[in-house]
Amino acid sequence: MERTLVLVKPDGVQRGMVGEIISRLERRGIKLVALKMMLVDQALAHRHYGEHEGKPFFQGLVDFITSSPLVAMIWEADDVVEIVRGTMGQTNPKNAAPGTIRGDLGVNIGRNLVHGSDSPESAQREVALFFKEGEILDYNRNNDPWITEP
């Protein structure tokens, strides 16, 4: 079973899109195993966006993610990284397909509402940045046999 990190970024929180985003992911059939609202400090922002350090847009990413609360979540399913990325749509909302979160709700690449890990390896690293092991739940859902074959 794979896990991925999803962040409803400050613009999504400020626009009141948290419920819409969670609902879209739940309707895909993937399982929510951790959720919290938080303020990201400079240190966490630098660790999260570390791969972009030194690039011209790095400070803008840090400033934005620390500007307001966000909602951090962990979702679980087979191939969940791919499922979430498809549900979110292209990074630039102008290129995102209708029916995706960004395609339906976003208009600007700098305010694209949501972050999702881009690979299983990134997901492991990002989950560890935002959550402690005790914050992640392991539970059974009664509807799982109706979502995936055993």
- Note the pLDDT tens digit of each residue in 23-37: 999 999 999 999 999
Amino acid letter for position 144: D
Distance (Å, rounded) from C-alpha 148 to C-alpha 60?
40
Catalytic one among 46, 48, 52, 115? 115
Is residue 141 part of an annotated ligand binding site?
A: no
Is residue 112 part of an annotated ligand binding site?
A: yes
- Note the pLDDT tens digit of each residue in 101-143: 999 999 999 999 999 999 999 999 999 999 998 999 999 999 9
- Note the pLDDT tens digit of each residue in 43-101: 999 999 988 888 899 999 999 999 999 999 999 999 999 999 999 999 999 999 999 99
**Residue 124 has what pLDDT?**
97
Is residue 132 part of an annotated ligand binding site?
A: no
Nearest to 135 by CA among 30, 5, 27: 5
3-state DSSP percent of the chain in helix, strand and coil, to 5: 45, 20, 35
Is residue 9 part of an annotated ligand binding site?
A: yes
115 is catalytic: yes
Amino acid letter for position 137: L
